[in-house]
Amino acid sequence: MTVSIVNLTTFRNEKLVLNNINFSLSAGESLCIHGPNGVGKSTLLRILAGFRKPDSGNVLWNSRNIFEHHETYENYLQTIAWLGHSNALKPIMTVRENLQLYSKFYKTNLHDCLKKFNLYHLIDTPVRLLSAGQKRRTALARILLKPATIWLLDEPTVGLDRENMINLAEIFASFQKNGGMILVSTHTDLPLINTKSLNLSLPSLH
Ligand SMILES: Nc1ncnc2c1ncn2[C@@H]1O[C@H](COP(=O)(O)OP(=O)(O)OP(=O)(O)O)[C@@H](O)[C@H]1O
């Protein structure tokens, strides 16, 4: 299994954001995308999630262009789990109500998942009453409820304390040891195993 980006270039608002990006990731590997604000980290992850097409270049899943063949695109979407900047949780619903849609649909174990993210004691708490870190962990728990091969995570650790960072590192490592791939944008050093780095830089003003 491989996911690759080949000669990818993208404009936003007629401004060049991603210029000829290339990388390839195999089962068990992770990619950390670094760079200053506005450089295009989220844009790249959104292209990898299939939300937008690049202006040129390809996203390949097992050597097939995801945007070229409908069947490849559909198969690829089954394999990815996405966490954006926004937690995308319903504030008036409890942790259980927010997540059980996923556990029922994918037939995965909600209780085990909540225990892994130290959220079990909050299962019946409305999301609006959670702290920022607890909300982020609830959003991260959703990733685990989909049996995906690729995790696409946009700054997943915002708001997490040290203990929960260590816990997340163990969850990441376990996923990768089972062949999972993680592509993540971050402004901090993430504790990932078997990892590659992609450093994006802003174009020179001169
Ligand atoms: N909806 C949009 N429409 C037009 N341009 C956008 C839009 N969203 C972002 N951009 C532009 O695209 C560029 C890349 O933005 P992006 O969000 O990918 O950066 P980033 O590296 O993820 O930044 P940050 O570290 O702040 O999260 C920025 O210059 C931004 O102004």
Show the tokens assigned to 196: 């590659």
CA of 17 to the centre of ligand 1 (A): 8
Q: What does pTM read for this prediction?
A: 0.96
Taking 60 as the threshold, does the pLDDT of residue 206 lie above it?
no
CA of 194 to the centre of ligand 1 (A): 28
Domains of the chain (ranges; CATH) run 2-199 (3.40.50.300)
Show the tokens assigned to 10: 């993208």
- What are 29-44's pLDDT values in tens digits? 999 999 999 999 999 9
190 or 116, which is more confident? 116
Atom of ligand 1 nearest to the CA of 15: 29
Mean pLDDT of 48-75: 94
pLDDT for res 138: 98
Query: To test the ligand 1 pocket, which listed residue (32, 33, 41) has its Cβ within 8 A of the most ligand atoms?
Result: 41
pLDDT for res 189: 85
Q: Does residue 125 have its Cβ closer than 6 Å to ligand 1? A: no
Mean per-residue pLDDT over the chain, rounded: 95
Taken in order 35, 36, 39, 42, the sign of the CA dihedral is positive
Mean pLDDT of 5-26: 96
Taking 80 as the threshold, does the pLDDT of residue 101 lie above it?
yes
| Residues of the chain above pLDDT 90, percent | 94
pLDDT for res 205: 59
Taking 70 as the threshold, does the pLDDT of residue 92 lie above it?
yes
CA of 70 to the centre of ligand 1 (A): 27
Q: Does residue 48 have its Cβ closer than 6 Å to ligand 1? A: no
| Residues of the chain above pLDDT 70, percent | 98
Atom of ligand 1 nearest to the CA of 155: 27
State the ipTM, two decimals: 0.96
Backbone dihedral angles phi then psi of residue 68, each to the nearest 5 degrees: -95, -35
CA of 55 to the centre of ligand 1 (A): 15
- What are 113-160's pLDDT values in tens digits? 999 999 999 999 999 999 999 999 999 999 999 999 999 999 999 999
Q: Does residue 17 have its Cβ closer than 6 Å to ligand 1? A: yes
Taken in order 173, 174, 179, 183, the sign of the CA dihedral is negative
| Nearest residue (CA) to ligand 1, atom 29 | 38
Q: Could you identify the residue written with the tokens 């995801």? A: 66
Mean pLDDT of 107-115: 98
The span from the CA of 47 to the CA of 25, in Å, is: 15
How many degrees, rounded to 5, is the angle at CA 142 between CA 139 and CA 148?
130
Taking 70 as the threshold, does the pLDDT of residue 204 lie above it?
no
| Nearest residue (CA) to ligand 1, atom 28 | 38
